[in-house]
C-alpha cells in the first residue's frame, strides 16, 4: 500500500465523538467546543478499524 492509501485508511476508519470538551484559549479563558473540531478529520484513530479496512482493500 502507498503512504497516501494508509493515510486515507487511518482518517476514514477513525471513531467520531459528538461531545463538547473544554479548552483553554490563549488568553486563559475557557471555552466549550465540539471534539470533532479539534482535528482535521474530527476523529480518533481506531487501529482495529484501520486494520480491517486495510485488509479489505488489500484483497482487491
pTM for the full predicted model: 0.72
pLDDT for residue 59: 85
Which tens digits make up the pLDDT trace of 1-54? Answer: 899 999 999 999 999 999 999 999 999 999 999 999 998 889 999 999 999 999
Rounded to an integer, what is the distance from CA 10 to the centroid of its chain?
A: 7
Task: Give the pLDDT score at 45.
Answer: 95
pLDDT, position 58: 87
The domain segmentation of the chain, as residue ranges, is 3-58
Q: What is the pLDDT of residue 27?
A: 97
The pLDDT of residue 60 is 77
Q: How many residues does the chain have?
A: 60
Cβ 27 vs Cβ 57: under 8 Å: no
Amino acid at each position: 500500500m502507498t503512504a497516501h492509501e494508509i493515510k486515507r485508511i487511518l482518517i476514514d476508519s477513525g471513531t467520531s465523538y459528538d461531545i463538547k470538551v473544554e479548552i483553554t484559549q490563549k488568553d486563559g479563558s475557557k471555552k466549550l467546543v465540539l471534539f470533532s473540531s479539534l482535528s482535521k478529520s474530527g476523529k480518533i484513530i481506531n487501529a482495529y478499524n484501520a486494520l480491517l479496512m486495510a485488509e479489505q482493500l488489500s484483497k482487491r
